[in-house]
Amino acid sequence: MTDKARVVDYQGVLDYIAEAVRPQFGKGRVADYIPALADVDARKFGMAVRLVDGTLYTVGDGLERFSVQSISKLFVLELAMQHFGDMVWTRVGKEPSGDRFNSMMRLEHERGIPRNPFINPGALATLDLVMGLKGDTRHRLRNYLRFLAVDETVDSNATVARSELDHAHTNRALAHLMKAYGNIDNDVEDLMETYCFQCAMEMNCAELATAALPLAGGGYSSLHDTAVISKNQARRINSVMLTCGMYDSVGSFAYRVGLPAKSGVGGGILAVAPGRMTICVWSPELDAFGNSYVGTAALELFTSMTGVSVF
């Protein structure tokens, strides 16, 4: 049934969810392997829904910016696909990993070609491609996110980026291993600095929901008034999100929520309902897989209450 045929009170649904998830606080843990992330208030909760016609609904801390972390991998993949097309898939696969987001083991088995662009080695390979383009990659990333969010103040948090860079031993090791296999062109330290800048971008739920709107609109977004990516690219990115976007709990997330989504260790989850809307939720406490504990519960409630799902 379309949204026109069935009028859903999305604001009412969000208000209900914000209350209903309260008992879930305290069950997850805020990420602390990046020390600057550990300072965030664990009880924050925000959510935003952006319909393809541009209508926005928010609740709680939906307008407060947080560290997007791995959600940025989605937008770097978009940039890579815009500039390199299917060549991207010679550098990175499109299969779920079944391992932790920064696991080294499989990378060695698969000779430096990461399983998908949403685990850390895959994101590093994708970023390495984008860094091959002319011009300053950090400006390119920031400008792209400002354009997508329709907000010129979107920026990276230098303290968070520094903190991650100081503790990025596993990511550095992944990058060096890939370089040894010939799958990284840039200097590893340049790559790490750019990657930490990318992960430390700060956006709020409403901005992230806006930024993903082209993925819900077959590449087109009513807010940007243009086709940001091609229809084909939107379909393919949504498919990779559905199978790889939630690390090694992607199966249970698909079972519980039923939408393509990308999470980040800052506690954000950005989901796409193709043809209908984007939904972003933020709650910093994470489950054992590195996905927002309360955020997953909130999305499960949202899709159960509204019937918005790809299945």
69 in contact with ligand GLU (CB under 6 A): yes
Q: Of the two residues 124 and 206, which places its CB atom closer to ligand GLU in the complex?
A: 124
* Pattern 181-210, ligand GLU, x by CB under 6 A: ------------------x-----------
Among this protein's residues, is 8 annotated catalytic? no
Among 120, 157, 278, 283, binds ligand GLU (CB under 6 A): 120
- What the block records as the tokens of 177 is 């291993």
Among this protein's residues, is 73 annotated catalytic? yes
Among this protein's residues, is 163 annotated catalytic? no
- What the block records as the tokens of 153 is 């103040």
Active-site entry in 52, 160, 188, 265: 265
Among this protein's residues, is 70 annotated catalytic? yes
Among 96, 121, 260, 264, binds ligand GLU (CB under 6 A): 264
Active-site entry in 67, 70, 263, 283: 70
What is the smallest separation between the CB atom of 255 and ligand GLU, expressed in angstroms?
Answer: 21
Among 58, 70, 97, 292, binds ligand GLU (CB under 6 A): 70
Decide: 11 and 51 in contact? Cβ < 8 Å.
no
Q: Of the two residues 175 and 216, which places its CB atom closer to ligand GLU in the complex?
A: 175
The two beta strands, 277-282 and 268-273, are antiparallel
What is the smallest separation between the CB atom of 30 and ligand GLU, expressed in angstroms?
Answer: 13
Among this protein's residues, is 103 annotated catalytic? no
What is the smallest separation between the CB atom of 265 and ligand GLU, expressed in angstroms?
Answer: 4
Active-site entry in 40, 72, 73, 294: 73
What is the smallest separation between the CB atom of 200 and ligand GLU, expressed in angstroms?
Answer: 8
Measure the CA dihedral 13/19/23/28, to 10°: 70
Count of residues engaged in binding ligand GLU, rule: CB under 6 A: 11
Q: Closest by alpha carbon to 64, among 268, 245, 212, 216?
A: 268
What is the smallest separation between the CB atom of 107 and ligand GLU, expressed in angstroms?
Answer: 14
* Pattern 131-170, ligand GLU, x by CB under 6 A: ---------------------------------x------
6-28: b or e for each residue (b if 16 or more CB lie within 10 Å)?
eeeebeebbeebbeebeebeeeb
Among 102, 222, 243, 309, binds ligand GLU (CB under 6 A): 102
Active-site entry in 10, 57, 144, 247: 247
Q: Of the two residues 72 and 183, which places its CB atom closer to ligand GLU in the complex?
A: 72
Question: What are the residue numbers of the active site?
Answer: 70, 73, 195, 247, 265
Which residues sit at the interface with ligand GLU, rule CB under 6 A? 69-70, 101-102, 120, 164, 171, 199, 264-265, 290
